[in-house]
Amino acid sequence: MQKKAYEIKQLFARFAANESLPFDQEIFVEGWVRTNRNSGKIAFIELHDGTCFRSLQIVYGPELKDFEAVTHYNTGAAIGVRGKLVATPEGQQPFEVHAAEIILLGSVSDDYPLQKKRHTFEYLREEAYLRPRANTFDAVFRLRSVLAMGVHTYFQDRGFVYVHTPEITANDAEGAGQTFLVATDAKDPVNDFFGRRASLTVSGQLHGEAFALAFKNIYTFGPTFRAEKSNTTRHAAEFWMIEPEIAFADLEDDMDLIEDCIKYLIRYVMDRCPDEMAFFDQRIAPGTIAKLEAVLNAPFTRMEYTEGIRLLQEAVAKGHKFENNKIEWGMDLQSEHERYLTEEIVKGPLFLINYPKEIKAFYMRENDDGRTVAACDLLVPGEGEIVGGSEREERYDVLKTKMDALGNTKGLEWYLNLRRFGGCRHAGFGIGFDRLIMYITGIANIRDTEPFPRTSNNLKY
Ligand code: 4AD
Ligand code: MG
C-alpha cells in the first residue's frame, strides 16, 4: 500500500479551488469510521480523518476481500483504505472512494461510548476524552484553534507586543476574592515556597500595564483562574482571556479597539471555517450566520449605565418581570438585565459605560462626576457580558487613596509606582475567549467550548 495518505482536507480544498484531483486513480486514505452501512449489495463508510470537518465517503461491495469482516468495522475504528477516487457529480458529495482494500488499523471495542446515535451534550461532557470525535466538538475545537490564531494575527499585525504575564501571582487583580491558592504546604501557605501568599492569576492586566508603559501597545492571551462558585453556563474556573493594554489612550480608544477586534475575529473565523459555521447555523443555533453578518455591518451601540438603569426601570414599570425586579442606580446588573438591554432594547452588541465606582474594580479611572468610573462592558444577545474594559486610574494620589481604603496597597507598591514613573493615560480590556466562542458558534454552555472544562465539583479529566 502507498505509504503517505491523502488528507481529506487536501481533497476537498483542491476540489474547491478547481485544482486537479487524481480522479480514477488509486489513492490511500486513513482515518476513523463515523458510520458503516451495508445493504448487502453495496456498503458505505463515512470516513473522518480529523483534518477537516467533512468526511469522505468510501464505497465497497461483496467483491472486497474480507467483505464480511469489513462490514463490522464499527463507529470509531481506525482504518486505511486503498481505492479509486471517483467523481460523483450527482451525489451528495463531489467525490468518493471505491475501495479495493480496507485494512483495520485500530479496532474499537463494543463498549465504545460514542455509538453513531446522537448524544446529549451532558452525556458527552462525561466522556470528555472522546468528545472531540463527535462532529459538534470537531467543529468547536477546530474553530477554537483558528480563532486563537486570529487573535495573534490581529494584534501582531498592529504591532502589539505579546506578553506572557505570569500565572502565579501575589495579587488579586480584580479584588473579588476568587483566587485559587498556590501552595506546597496547605497548612501554612503564607510561609511556604514564595514566602508570601501566592495564587493563580485572575487577570494578567496589572502586569500587562507595566509592559504597556514600556511598549505602548501590548496584549496577553492565556489561561486565567477564578474560584467562581456560581454554577452558570457562562462561568468556568479556568478560562482564557485576551487582555490588550494601550498607552496614551482613553475609553473611546478602548471601545474602538474592542469593536474592531471583535469584528475582525468574527470575520476571521467566518472566512476560514465555513463548514463549521454552516454546521452551527444549521444544527446548533439557527440564524447564527445572519446574526454575525448583522453584527459586522453595524456599529456597536454605546450607552451610559445610568441610561441603562432608566430603561430597565421603564421596563419594570411597563410590566416586565425580572427575577430581580428591584432596579436602582448603583446596582450590579445581573445577566437577565444585561440581556434585556442587549436583546430587547438594542438588539445587538451594546457597550454599557461609566458604571458606579462602587461596583467596579479599584484600578478604573474615576470620572469627573465623582461617582462613576470610565468602564465599558460589551454585552451581547444570548449571553450578556463578553468583554470588560476600562480606562485606568493614572493619577497616583487618586489611586493610592482608593487602594489604601481597600487595603490592597501592600504588595502592589510597584503598581502604584507605575503612576509616578512616566505613568500616562492608558486603557485596556479583557475578552473572555471562551465566551466569544459561545457567541460565535451559538454553543449555549461554556463547558462545551473548552477541551476539558474546569468548574466547581468537576475535575474528572
Ligand atoms: O470583566 P473581567 O473580570 O475583567 C478583567 O479581568 C479585567 N482585568 C480585564 C482588563 O481590563 N484587562 O473579565 C473579562 C472577561 C469577562 O468579560 C468575561 O468575558 C470573561 O473575562 N470572564 C469569564 N469567562 C469565563 N468564566 C469566568 N469565570 C469568567 N470571568 C470573566
Ligand atoms: Mg467584568
Instruction: Give the atom of ligand 1 at the shortest distance from the alpha carbon of 378.
Output: 17
Q: Concatenated DSSP letters for 346-387?
A: ISS-EEEEEEEGGGS-TTBPBPTTSSEEEEEEEEETTTEEEE
SS3 content of the chain, % helix, strand, coil (to 5): 35, 25, 40
User: Has residue 40 been placed in a domain?
Assistant: yes
Instruction: Give residue 388 CA to ligand 1 midpoint distance, Å.
Output: 6
| pLDDT beyond 90 at 3 | no
Query: Residue with C-alpha cell 483542491?
Result: 14
Per-residue pLDDT reduced to its tens digit, 392-402:
999 999 999 99
Q: What is the mean pLDDT of residues 160-167?
A: 98
The reply to whether 80 and 221 lie within a common domain is: no
What is the number of structural domains in the chain?
A: 2
User: Has residue 2 been placed in a domain?
Assistant: no
| pLDDT beyond 60 at 367 | yes
User: Has residue 379 been placed in a domain?
Assistant: yes
Per-residue pLDDT reduced to its tens digit, 194-245:
999 999 999 999 999 999 999 999 999 999 999 988 889 999 999 999 999 9
CATH number of the domain that residue 14 is part of: 2.40.50.140
Residue 43's DSSP bridge partners are 38, 60
Choosing from 435, 443, 455, 458 the residue with most ligand 1 atoms within 8 A of its CB, the one to mutate for a pocket test is 435
Handedness of CA 249, 251, 252, 253 (dihedral sign): positive
Q: What is the pLDDT of residue 414?
A: 98
User: Has residue 459 been placed in a domain?
Assistant: no
User: Has residue 115 been placed in a domain?
Assistant: no
Q: Indicate which ligand has the atom closest to the C-alpha of 379.
A: 1
The reply to whether 99 and 157 lie within a common domain is: no
- Domain span including residue 57: 8-106
Q: Indicate which ligand has the atom closest to the C-alpha of 384.
A: 1
Please give all residues whose CB falls under 5 A of ion ligand 2, grouped by chain where several chains appear: 388
Residue 352's DSSP bridge partners are 303, 377
Other beta carbons less than 10 A from residue 4's beta carbon? 7
Query: Can you tell me the distance from the alpha carbon of 235 to that of 238, in angstroms, rounded to the nearest whole number?
Result: 9
Q: What is the pLDDT of residue 2?
A: 53
Q: Indicate which ligand has the atom closest to the C-alpha of 173.
A: 1
Query: Can you tell me the distance from the alpha carbon of 45 to that of 440, in angstroms, rounded to the nearest whole number?
Result: 31
Q: Are the C-beta atoms of 196 and 190 separated by less than 8 Å?
A: yes
Verify whether ligand 1 is closer than 6 Å to residue 238 (CB atom): no
Choosing from 179, 225, 241, 379 the residue with most ligand 1 atoms within 8 A of its CB, the one to mutate for a pocket test is 241
Verify whether ligand 1 is closer than 6 Å to residue 385 (CB atom): yes
Verify whether ligand 1 is closer than 6 Å to residue 73 (CB atom): no
Verify whether ligand 1 is closer than 6 Å to residue 172 (CB atom): no
Instruction: Give the atom of ligand 1 at the shortest distance from the alpha carbon of 237.
Output: 28
The reply to whether 340 and 286 lie within a common domain is: yes
Instruction: Name the residue among 16, 22, 20, 101 with its Cα closest to residue 58.
Output: 101
The reply to whether 201 and 252 lie within a common domain is: yes
The reply to whether 343 and 389 lie within a common domain is: yes
| pLDDT beyond 60 at 80 | yes
User: Has residue 116 been placed in a domain?
Assistant: no
Verify whether ligand 1 is closer than 6 Å to residue 137 (CB atom): no
Instruction: Give the atom of ligand 1 at the shortest distance from the alpha carbon of 436.
Output: 19
C-alpha 165, offset from chain centre = 20
The reply to whether 272 and 364 lie within a common domain is: yes
Per-residue pLDDT reduced to its tens digit, 427-442:
999 999 999 999 999 9
| pLDDT beyond 60 at 1 | no
| pLDDT beyond 80 at 411 | yes
User: Has residue 453 been placed in a domain?
Assistant: no
Instruction: Give residue 187 CA to ligand 1 midpoint distance, Å.
Output: 30
Q: Indicate which ligand has the atom closest to the C-alpha of 435.
A: 1
Query: Residue with C-alpha cell 453595524?
Result: 298
User: Has residue 113 been placed in a domain?
Assistant: no
C-alpha grid cell for residue 223?
A: 489561561
| pLDDT beyond 60 at 37 | yes
Instruction: Name the residue among 21, 47, 44, 22 with its Cα closest to residue 34.
Output: 47
